[in-house]
Every structure is written in structure tokens, then in C-alpha cells.
Structure 1
Amino acid sequence: MPLMKLKHGRISAISMTYSHMNHSSKQGGYRPSKGITTGLYHQENYEQRQRIRRQTIQELIENNFDKTTSRFITLTFSNECLPPSIDHRPFKNFIKRIQYRYHYFRYVAIIEITNHENTSRWHYHVICNLPHIDHSELLSLWKCGAVNIQQVYDLEKLKSYFSKQFSQCQPSLKGKKAYFFSRGLVRHQVSRSWIEKEAEQFQKTTHELKCLKPSYLYSGENEYIGHFTYAKYKFPQPKYPVAGFAVRK
């Protein structure tokens, strides 16, 4: 009997059907290396973790923000404030100041590194639920250089931009924190056909997807799960609302 895993969020759902699954994968354990050398396995494992992180960033943005209640912020360092090496304390202090001033502040942030005249500089890109805020106020909250704030007009493009920038800066950030997000953000709900306690949610989601046509469909073969089918669905209407604007305390 085929195995199926479902992930659904605010505006989309994903189904993955497997012909079989080895025991370690089914229980969430590590896949056997099968004689792969440590170096190659380490690189393969790293790349897999990076794919998961990119998916996490896109999932968090999709489920918690939209173009009516979101802002896109860029934070850059002045020459005087730029730390000699990557140091996230200024950014964390910035977040604390906003959280002190605004209730229900939600955000997802990535770091981007640029090289100019043999010098590496980094800045932060942030999508958040701040309401209209004066440039001068945001500048006073950052304290470390320049700020730019814009209304979000295209969430899909912004998701792709965050994912692309996250991928490009990874060689310089290997082993360092490259993205941040606030607590309490909505994640995809996962239900699996072989987990008894997830049966109710699995049946509910399966019933909803029967009425929809996949917006993307792909089939393939994998040594761990055999033949598989990957399908993505778009909901006609969001299943639940995003968090509204943050509110000044």
C-alpha cells in the first residue's frame, strides 16, 4: 500500500506519495551511508540541510505574511559601526527595541554578504508586520547605519529573493547563523498516512485536495522511497488569516 505525506499551510498544500520507505527514514532516523566516505557524505548532508532551510524560509513567509500587512526592510552598517567580523548582536538588539515598542511583532530575516574593494560587508533583509513607520523612527531603532523600508507588493518574488540570497551567501557563512525568525510563526501542518495519531488530519486534508487540481506535478525514482509522486496544490482562498499589523505599546 502506498505511503503518503501531506503538508498544508495557509495558501498551498503538498502531497508526497511513496511506493515504499526504509525503516530508518520512516521513523525519522538517519539514512545509512552505504560506504560513502565521510567527506562526501558530510557535503551531501550539508546540501540537504540547506534545502530544508530554504524551504523553511519560504514556508514561514508564505504562512505569516501578505502584501497588505507586510513591510520589507533592509538594514546596513555604516563604516563606523561595521563589526570586524560577522556579529549578530546589533541585529538582535534592533529586534528587542522593536518588540519593546510594538505588540505582536513578527519577522523573518536573512543576512546577505557583499564584497567591495576586497572587503566583505553584510546587511540584513527583513520581512515583518510593522505598520506605517517613519524612516527617522526606524533609523533610531537600528542605530548602526542606514535603513530602507518598503511596502511588499509581490510575495512570490520576495520569497524567491530571500531564497536566492540565502543560497548565494552560504559559502561565506558556512557554520554561521544565516536566517532568523520570531517565535510563534505558523508552520505547515504535516500528516502522514502511517501515523495513527495523525489519521484525522490526514483524512481531512486528503478530502480537501480531492477537489483541487495540482498546480505542479512531478514523478521520479529514489533508492530510499522507490517510485514517488510530488504534487503541489493552491487553495482558492487562504485557509486562515495572517497576523495583522504589529501594534504600538
Structure 2
Amino acid sequence: MHEVDRKQRRFDSELSQALEQAALEREQKDKACQESTALGAELYGLRRSLQEGQVEAARLQKQKDELCAQIRDLSLPVDLASDSLPDLKKKLRLLEVEAGERAHEVTELASKIQQQQQVHMRSEMEMERMKQMHQKELEDKEEELEDVHKSSQRRLRQLEMQLEQEYEEKQMVIHEKHDLEGLIATLCDQVGHRDFDVEKKLRRDLKRTHALLADAQLLLSTVDSPGQHLPAGGREQIERLHCQLEESEARRLEVDADVGTLSQ
């Protein structure tokens, strides 16, 4: 489980880094879009100014052409005042100067528009490059995260199978333990019953031995009394009684020991 937690933390960390990188790239993309929009607006203004300048230059050129025509017309008639020609020439020079200025402004505007168009084109190309790079990084990161996710899932399934196997083995051990406890209890009951029967038999033997011992002691006390005469074969009988007495005493001690053992 520790391995799964470690991989999960690694997965979360990589996902967080990917999201932060995506947010940073999105911010850069938005900034580039804003700059492109501003350049587009400026370019539109310059184009409009250029159009206005061209219209004004065309108007001045038209006036110039009209004045030139008037000068040409005035050079032919004889009845016109002599001071009309200098005024017309002066107006023509002024119009030429103004037309030159307008033409210069139009040239500058055209140059500026061309520069702005180049900047705008470079900005669009940079945006497209960043977009493609960002898309490639996202695809690589998604593929990497998918691999990590699949690996974590496989490891998790392995751990789950291992836990299930350990649980089954534990349940098997518990069942075996219960079976052994039941068998031990059964054996204890059987041994207890047998011990009880043996103890009962030993107690009967003990009573019989005590009775035999009492009879033998009584007989010996009678034989040992003064004035008592032994019948024929009495000595052998007494010896047999002595042997029986010794055997009975040994048997009594053995039975007492067995009874004491069973009573514990």
C-alpha cells in the first residue's frame, strides 16, 4: 500500500505541475492574443489614416491639375488681368508643397503599415508555434500521466489480489485453529472420562487393598499373641500373608500415587 500511495503522490504532483504549466502557457497565449489584438487595432487605424491621406492627396492632386489647366487657359486669352497669373502660380506652388507633404505623410504611413504588418505576421507565427508546442506538450504529458495511471492501477490490482490471498490464508489458519481446538476439547473430554473410570477402579482396588491389609494385620496380631500355637503349615501361611501384606502395601502406595496424579 505504501508503494501505491507513493505513486499516487507522484501522479498528483505531476498532474499539478502539468496544470501549472498549462495555466502559464494559457496566460502567455492570452497576453500574445491581447498584443495581437492591439497591433490589429493599430494597423486598422494606420490603414484608415493611409486611406484618408490618399484621399487628401488625390484631392490636392486634383486641385493642382485644375490650377495647371487654369494657368494654361490663362496663358492664351489677352483680355485677362495681368495680376491673375501670379496669384494662380502662387496657389499652384502652395498646392504643390501641400501635395508633397501629403505624399510624404502617405509614404511614411505606408512604411509604418508595412512594419506593423510584419510585426503582426511574426506575432501570429509565434502564436501558432506556441500553440503547436503547447499542444505537443499537453499530448506528451497526457500520455505520460495515462501510463502512470495504468501502472498504478496494475500495482493496485496486484496488491488487492495479494491482500485477498493473505486474507484467505488467514481464514484457513483460523478454521484450522478452530478445528484443532475442537479436536483438543474432544480429546480432553475423552481423556477426562477415561481418567474418571480409571480413578474409580483404582479407588475400588485401594479399598480392597486396605481391607486385605487390615485382615493380614489382624491375623498377624493374633499369631504374635503369647500362648498361641501355630497349626501344621501355619508358618508357610504366615509367610504368604507377609508377602501379600508387602505386595498390598506396595500396591496401596502405587494406587495412592495414581489417585493423587489424577486428582491434580
Q: Is the shorter-chain TM-score for this pair beyond 0.5, marking a shared fold?
A: no
Which one has the bigger strand percentage? Answer: 1
**Higher CA-based Rg:** 2
- So what's the TM-score if we normalise by structure 1? 0.19
Which one has the bigger helix percentage? Answer: 2
- So what's the TM-score if we normalise by structure 2? 0.18
